Every structure is written in C-alpha cells, then in structure tokens.
Amino acid sequence: MSQKKDRRLVQSEAAIIEAGIRTLLIDPSAGMSEIAEAAGIGRATLYRHFDSREALVRGLALKCYEEIETALEPHGHLVGRPGIERIIDVLMPIANRFRFLGSLWTYVEEDKEIARIESQMDEDMRLLFDHARSTGDIDKSFPTAWLVSFFDSTLMAGWDMVESGAMDPEEVAVYVKRSFFAGCGAPP
C-alpha cells in the first residue's frame, strides 16, 4: 500500500472517530449516513472502515478507552491524593470521551473486550482509593464502592460543566478535586 493511501486511511479514520463521537453525542440514534456526512466522507468510505453501525460504536468506544489509558499511563506511579488529583487533571480535557461512553453504554456493555477494560479501570481506581485511605488522604469509614461512585458522579458533574461551556476543563478540575476531597477526605 502506498504511503499516500496509508495517510488517507489514517486521516479518514481520524475524521470518522471525531465525527462519530460528536454526532452520536448529539443524537445517539444517528445513522451511518449522518456520521459519514459529518466526517466529510462518503458512506462507502465509512463502510470500508466499519461494516455496521454496531461495529462503528464498538470501535469508537475502544478508541475512547485507548485514549483514556494513554492519557493516564504516565501517571500510573502516583498514589494517594496526588494520584487522584492527577487523574482528575488528565480526564477533564477528554470529557467528551466519557460522555460518549456513557451515552452509548447500552450498545457496548455486553462486549467482552470493553467489559475487560472497564473492569481493569475500576480495579485500578479501587486500589488507588484503598491506598489513599491507608495513608489518611481519604476518610477510612467510606466503603470503596461509595468512593468510586462519588468520584464518578463528581467527574460527571464536571463534565457537564465543560460540555455546557460554563467552565473550561482546568477550572472544572479544581472544583472536582475540592468537591471530592471536601466530601471524602480524611476528617481533620
């Protein structure tokens, strides 16, 4: 395959990913025609990349998880409060990836690969919270399941603010960290 053709495939795939996420966030029932149009490509090109809407949604979900893992990877050594705060800083600018995953979760929740990734991410967060409790960064009386749920809910509130345009990701990260640790931090 020529380098020019490779570059076009990569460019069209990148356009499909961005347009697919953007379009499906606005209208989760959007079809392949709408996504192809938003990506600035023909339907035939879209079908060369993804042979069905289900394959597209799965591919987009896997791409979102890949981007999240890539963004978090350099910070995996951080533990306790610094680790939790860094995760918030890293995740806020890619809020649309989580909004996408949440909006179309019912389409991909049965996928074994996605379930494995989600399970691993949940386990990593549980370990981080367990460590933060052991060092006194988080109130020891809170069950881990509560911490994970509260953390996710606080992030979702932040993502709503970013998506609405009310705040930028950096500003929201400050409030998410303050809210999480004010609610779950170790008592004085």
Res 20 pLDDT > 60: yes
Q: What is the pLDDT of residue 128?
A: 92
Confidence of residue 64 (pLDDT cuts 50, 70, 90): confident
Which tokens hold the place of 75? 């910070």
> Mind listing the pLDDT tens digit for each residue in 98-120?
777 777 777 787 889 988 988 89
Residue 9, pLDDT score: 67
For residues 137 and 80, what is the distance between their CA atoms, to the nearest angstrom?
A: 6
* pTM for this predicted structure: 0.78
- Sign of the torsion formed by the C-alpha atoms of 62, 154, 179 and 94: positive
Residue 74's Cβ-side half-sphere holds a number of Cα atoms within 13 Å equal to: 7
Cα 127 from Cα 140, distance rounded (Å): 14
- Predicted pLDDT of residue 72: 87
In 3D space, the residue among 182, 180, 187 whose CA is nearest the CA of residue 83 turns out to be: 180
Confidence of residue 13 (pLDDT cuts 50, 70, 90): confident
Round to whole Å and give the CA distance between 103 and 114. Answer: 15
Q: Which domains does the chain have, with CATH numbers?
A: 1-51 (1.10.10), 58-184 (1.10.357)
Half-sphere exposure of 88 (CA within 13 A, CB side): 26
Residue 96 reports pLDDT greater than 80: no
- Of residues 32 and 26, more confidently modeled: 32
